[in-house]
Amino acid sequence: MKKRIAILGSTGSIGTQTLEVVRENPDHFEVEVLTANNNIDLLIKQTKEFKPNTVVIADESKYDDLVHALEKLPVKVYAGNEAISQIVEMDTIDIVLTAMVGYSGLLPTINAIKSGKTIALANKETLVVAGEMIQKLAFHHKVSIYPVDSEHSAIFQCLVGEGQNAIEKIMLTASGGPFRGKNLQFLKSATKENALKHPNWEMGAKITIDSATMMNKGLEAIEAKWLFGLNPNQIEVVVHPQSIVHSAVMFEDGSIKAQMGLPNMKLPILYALSFPDRVKTEFPRFSFWDYPELTFEKPDLKSFRNLALAFEAMDKCGNMPCILNAANEIAVDAFLKDKIGFCEMTDIIEQSMQKIAYIKHPELDDLINTDKETREYSKTLIK
């Protein structure tokens, strides 16, 4: 039977690539729900092609236009963030792919888990902000969470069939982004245009900036901690500029398994949606002859302090990763709007981590308040 998918964030980079996967595999998947933040034109186009049961636009001001555009189709139309959180409870959904950007994906993911839906997780911030809570909920409701990020998908694939074999450590690979090898002096004058030019991956603006600062790898490390039940000292970041080895696992006997392939986000998306099966594809194939050299480097934590801050937040745990994430979202938005420089993003994050009250064992309300307080404080640091 076809798997019925709800795609939260269908107009973003992961969402549009997920729809490409659905288009290429019509015998395996069908779209049940599409949601978008405010890109109404693309949402309308997607709805007309894939004819989901329901669509939701977060921006309530665009509701009437969306209803009018889709009035000839048998599609239910809703608006608002609360509607996105509620729509995942539909009985006709088999798997929820969460591709919303940042903190906004948390509450819909929580609701989906409580409704017993399988989760294909492309929103790393959900586990960064509330990893312990999410894992407890998933265990209680017997829900599987399949990672979509290429690095976490790689680790997941390496662990299939390993049962209870103990992990010694994982190695998260990082391309190094557009500024690999650059020193702090260079980064102080780095421009938005250059930061958005990732050498290997096509991604949305926010995640591309996170890659340039290496915050993305820090968030991925925190996500990995919760996905795979690891301690921070079991997580190693390795800069691998070719992006062929997507990540690796070292087991306690010293052997290493790595997952490799050409950079292509559709592969981990497809694997998350089709697990435990592998679906035949026509994706370009990797050849060792095209890559006679694969290189690996240590990350530069002095120049790219965001990665060090992320590990500090992971070590402290509690609401500290929530503070890190909220401050980063505000800082990245300010950088993209040319309000601050590249290195000022790190300053805002570090000052927020020092200023906002630390809570060792936060409840959901604590995390919601922490996120709000951090955002308000971070904005005061933007001159």
pLDDT of res. 355: 97
The answer to whether the beta carbons of residues 307 and 214 sit under 8 Å apart is yes
Q: How far apart are CA 65 and CA 124, in angstroms?
A: 31
Average pLDDT estimate for 72-82: 95
| DSSP H or E segment with residue 316 | helix 305-316
Phi first, then psi: give them for residue 245, nearest 5 degrees: -85, 110
The pLDDT confidence band at residue 105, using thresholds 50, 70 and 90, is: confident
The pLDDT confidence band at residue 104, using thresholds 50, 70 and 90, is: confident
pTM of the model: 0.92
**pLDDT tens by residue, 39-69:** 999 999 999 999 999 999 999 999 999 999 9
pLDDT of res. 111: 95
Residue 293, Cβ density class (10 Å: 0-12 exposed, 13-18 middle, ≥19 buried) = exposed
Residue owning tokens 């004819």: 51
The pLDDT confidence band at residue 108, using thresholds 50, 70 and 90, is: very high
β-strand partners of 4? 30
| 64, 201, 258 from 161: Cα distances, Å | 50, 29, 14
**pLDDT tens by residue, 164-194:** 899 999 999 999 888 999 999 999 999 888 8
| Structure letter (DSSP) for residue 285 | P
Least confident of 55-59, 124-128, 303-307, 317-321: 124-128
Q: What is the mean pLDDT of the chain?
A: 94
Residue owning tokens 């080895």: 245
**pLDDT tens by residue, 274-288:** 999 999 999 999 999
Domains with residue ranges and CATH for the chain: 3-147 (3.40.50.720), 152-263+285-301 (no CATH), 317-383 (1.10.1740.10)
pLDDT of res. 202: 67
Q: How far apart are CA 100 and CA 342, in angstroms?
A: 24
Is residue 151 over pLDDT 70?
yes
